[in-house]
Amino acid sequence: MDYNKIQPICELYGPVIQSEGSLAGIPHIVVRTTGCTHRCWFGEGGWCDSFYTSIHPEKGKFTLNDLKAYFEKFPECNHLMLTGGAPTMHDELCDEVIYLFKKYHKSITDWNANWVDNPDKKYKPGIVTLETEGSHFIKTRERIDLISLSPKFTNSIPKLGIEKPQGGIVDERFIKQHNKFRLNKDAIKQMMEYHLDYHFKPVCNPIEMPEVWAEIEAFRVEMNIPKSKTWIMPPGDTAEEIIRVLPMVIDFCGQNGYNFSGRDHIIAFGQKRCV
């Protein structure tokens, strides 16, 4: 790939604290691609929180040389989150970003071997998380350490005639585009099997959203995803709403054997970007 060419990457920031899923609390560098197969709208929960990469996609701003310099600047931050939008739309770019990040950090295998041979040498492996709605399967030279699965269910389908975040009205074509890749089970299964690990990260309050939860749970069972890899996150696009539903979601997880994940970045920063 041409390292001087602007790529469909609209955000590059960090280190920041991951606030969702199985790696919550760990500093990450974030690379956010632009462009998405989906057009998510969650009713009272609002539009996709990164609508500027999906419904109204911005142009890319960064080259691979920009990423290279950034990774070199923060060698101690060994976690990368590759998110979007839908990063799997850009399979060649994903492969190159992951390969580039891994160049500056040793592999898990090297880390384990070195730890046995020389525990005083403190280099760290590069751990890559790919956040995906599951629309496409991609292979990479370096298998991805963690696939963070957030497939979209029927509660994400936009309503005909409502206004988009930055103007324009939802029509049938818009809805058809959203549904085209909305629940690509074959691609999701391939991602789970090919890469090194995964977790399933649905956003739902099962107490107040029983129909949505029934759909999510049916998917989990069909895809043979264990509860131990399932992290339920509270819905809401404001701190007030998330705090309101927290007790219900936490209690549900505890009583039914699921993992709980907060969304502390929304509580702390609201709709602010690059956090």
Q: What amino acid is encoded at 32 in this protein?
A: R
Q: What amino acid is encoded at 6 in this protein?
A: I
Note the Cα 143 to chain centre separation in Å. Answer: 17
Instruction: Check residue 111 and give its pLDDT.
Output: 45
pTM of the model: 0.91
In a domain, 275, yes or no: no
The domain that contains 30 carries what CATH number? 3.20.20
Instruction: Check residue 106 and give its pLDDT.
Output: 58
In a domain, 162, yes or no: no
Place of tokens 């384990």: 112
Cis peptide before 21 (omega within 30 of 0): no
Q: Print pLDDT tens along the chain (275 aa).
A: 999 999 999 999 999 999 999 999 999 999 999 999 999 999 877 899 899 999 999 999 999 999 999 999 988 899 999 999 999 999 999 999 999 999 877 544 454 444 444 454 445 679 999 999 999 999 999 999 999 999 999 999 999 999 999 999 999 999 999 999 999 999 999 999 999 999 999 999 999 999 999 999 999 999 999 999 999 999 988 999 999 999 999 999 999 999 999 998 888 888 788 87
User: CB of 211 within 8 A of CB of 202?
Assistant: no
Instruction: Check residue 105 and give its pLDDT.
Output: 75
Taking CA atoms, 23 is separated from 67, 152, 196, 199, in Å, by 22, 21, 15, 10
User: CB of 100 within 8 A of CB of 82?
Assistant: no
In a domain, 175, yes or no: no
Question: What is the count of structural domains for the chain?
Answer: 1
In a domain, 86, yes or no: yes
d(CA 34, CA 185): 23
CA angle 133, 213, 239 (to 5 degrees): 75
In a domain, 111, yes or no: yes
Instruction: Check residue 270 and give its pLDDT.
Output: 80
User: CB of 162 within 8 A of CB of 204?
Assistant: no
In a domain, 132, yes or no: yes
In a domain, 110, yes or no: yes
Taking CA atoms, 30 is separated from 101, 140, 155, in Å, by 11, 18, 27
In a domain, 44, yes or no: no
User: CB of 70 within 8 A of CB of 29?
Assistant: yes
Written as one string, the DSSP assignment of 125-183 is: B-EEEEEE-S------SS--SEEEE----GGGPPPTTPBPTTS-B--HHHHHHHHHTTT
d(CA 126, CA 103): 8
Residue 265 is part of which domain span? Answer: 10-34+62-157+182-269
Helix (H, G, I), strand (E, B) or coil at 147: strand
User: CB of 130 within 8 A of CB of 93?
Assistant: no
Beta bridge partners of 30: 13, 81
Taking CA atoms, 233 is separated from 1, 85, 100, 202, 223, in Å, by 37, 19, 31, 6, 19
